[in-house]
Amino acid sequence: MTRMTGAWQSILLLFIFGLVAGAGTSAATEVACGANQRELLVTNKSSQPVWIGGGGGALRSVCVVDANTSCLAAQSTIDGTTGACKCGTQDGTLACPGVSQATGAGTKGGLNCVCTQDSDCGLGAGCNASTNLCYFVLPNPVAHSGAGAFTWKLSKSVSPPQPGGWAEFCLDQAASPGISPPHPRQLLPRFLPRSGGVAAWPRAPDATRTAPTA
The answer to whether 85 and 73 have CB atoms below 8 angstroms apart is yes
Q: What is the pLDDT of residue 165?
A: 93
pLDDT in tens, 59-103: 899 999 988 899 999 999 999 999 999 999 999 999 998 899 999
Residue 68 has, within 13 A of its CA and on its CB side, a CA count of 0
**Bigger pLDDT: 105 vs 17:** 105
Residue 120 pLDDT class (50, 70, 90 cuts): very high
Q: What is the pLDDT of residue 73?
A: 94
202-204-210 Cα angle (round to 5):
125
DSSP assignment letter at 82: T
In angstroms, rounded to a whole number, what is the distance separating the alpha carbons of residues 149 and 3?
47
Residue 206: pLDDT over 70: no
Residues facing 37 on adjacent strands: 172
**Bigger pLDDT: 201 vs 20:** 201
Q: What is the pLDDT of residue 201?
A: 62
Residue 104: pLDDT over 70: yes
Q: What DSSP line would sit under 27-50, residue for residue?
A: -----PPPTTEEEEEEE--SSS-E
Q: State the average pLDDT over residues 102-110.
A: 94
Residue 155: pLDDT over 80: yes
C-alpha closest to that of 122 among 149, 102, 142, 105? 102
Residue 5 pLDDT class (50, 70, 90 cuts): very low
Q: What is the pLDDT of residue 180?
A: 39
The answer to whether 180 and 84 have CB atoms below 8 angstroms apart is no
Burial class of residue 101, CB neighbours in 10 A (0-12, 13-18, 19+): buried
| Distance set, CA 151 to CA 105, 108, 141 (Å) | 39, 36, 10
In angstroms, rounded to a whole number, what is the distance separating the alpha carbons of residues 92 and 69?
9
Q: State the average pLDDT over residues 108-129.
A: 92
Residue 118 pLDDT class (50, 70, 90 cuts): very high
Structural domain boundaries in the chain: 33-201
Q: pTM higher than 0.85 for the full model?
A: no
In angstroms, rounded to a whole number, what is the distance separating the alpha carbons of residues 87 and 72?
8
DSSP assignment letter at 89: T
The answer to whether 73 and 37 have CB atoms below 8 angstroms apart is no
pLDDT in tens, 163-192: 999 999 988 765 444 443 334 344 444 444
Q: What is the pLDDT of residue 147?
A: 81
pLDDT in tens, 23-70: 332 346 878 898 878 888 999 999 999 988 776 678 899 999 988 899
